[in-house]
Structure 1
Amino acid sequence: MPVFTVDAPSGARPEAKQKMLKEITEALDEAYHFPDTRGWLREYAAENVSQDGRVQAEPVRPVCTLEVPELASLDAKRKLVRKIEAAIGAGYPGVANTGEVLVLINHYPLENVGWRQNLQSDKPEIVAALSRLNT
């Protein structure tokens, strides 16, 4: 159920993007142990990005948005953020301001997520997995 989106500038090599998406998926799998991780990469030309109200004044600062189950452990979140920032940094060297990656973590309780024609809160295996994750 973890979902992520990376918003970044155009210009990274295809193999670097593929590696980055794989590493972010692996980091989410390690943190959550949930099936069905999905990721999207949205790239923008620098003239289509505003930072602090300015266009093309500095290299684009990437953003990674996570839509994920609740995770209580701050240490697990810190580790996840470090791995995501490292993956984006390796994917966009010289293309983006990879020292200023923003990772937004949006948590969803299981009763607010539908999957396979049910709420995740109705699936005992998912409830058990989240319980183990947050004990």
Structure 2
Amino acid sequence: MPVFTIEAPAGAGRDAKQKMLKEIHDALDEAYHFPDTRGWLREYAEENVAQDGRVQAEPVRPVCSLEVPELVSLDANRTLVQKIEAAISSAYAGIANVDEVLVLINHYPLRNVGWRHSLQSDKPEIVAGLAHLNGERNATAAAS
């Protein structure tokens, strides 16, 4: 269920983008072990990006938005962010301001995610998996 979107300037090569998307998938898979990770890459011409109210005043600062279940471990979140920033930095070096990649982590409780005709909170294997990742003894806490 992890979903990510990269917002970046146009210009990275096909191989660089493919490598970046794979590395981000792998980082999410390592953090969550959830099936069905999806990713989108949105690229924009520099004249279509405003930063601090200015267009083309500086190199574009990429943004990655994550839609994921909550991980309570700050270390797991730190590692995930570092791997995502490294993947984006590698793909967009020389094209974007990769010193200021922004990673936004939007957490969703399992009861707010529908997948395969039901809520993820109704899937015992998903509830147990998230509880295990978060070190919870009571798996029902992961569903709420």
Shorter-normalised TM range: over 0.9
What residue ranges of structure 1 are gaps of 5+ in the alignment? none
How many angstroms apart in 2 are the aligned matches of 1:21 and 1:97?
18
What residue ranges of structure 2 are gaps of 5+ in the alignment? 136-144
Equivalent residue letter for 2:125 = E
Looking at both structures, which has the greater relative contact order when contacts are Cα pairs under 8 Å and sequence separation is at least 6?
Answer: 1
Equivalent residue letter for 2:68 = V
The alignment of Structure 1 onto Structure 2 pairs a total of residues equal to: 135
TM-score where L is the length of structure 2: 0.93
TM-score where L is the length of structure 1: 1.00
How many angstroms apart in 1 are the aligned matches of 2:106 and 2:87?
20
Q: Does 1:114 align with 2:114?
A: yes
How many angstroms apart in 2 are the aligned matches of 1:12 and 1:100?
17
CA shift, 1:73, in A, is 0.2
- Residue in structure 2 matched with residue 22 of structure 1 by the alignment: 22
Structure 2 counterparts to residues 1-135 of structure 1, below 5 A: 1-135=1-135
How many angstroms apart in 1 are the aligned matches of 2:33 and 2:107?
15
Give every structure 1 segment of 4 or more consecutive aligned residues whose post-TM-superposition deviation is greater than 6 Å: none
Equivalent residue letter for 1:103 = V
CA shift, 1:125, in A, is 0.3
How many angstroms apart in 2 are the aligned matches of 1:71 and 1:78?
11
CA shift, 1:70, in A, is 1.0
How many angstroms apart in 1 are the aligned matches of 2:92 and 2:102?
14
- Residue in structure 1 matched with residue 141 of structure 2 by the alignment: none
Percent identity between the two aligned chains: 79
CA shift, 1:17, in A, is 0.2
3-state SS of 1:96 partner: coil
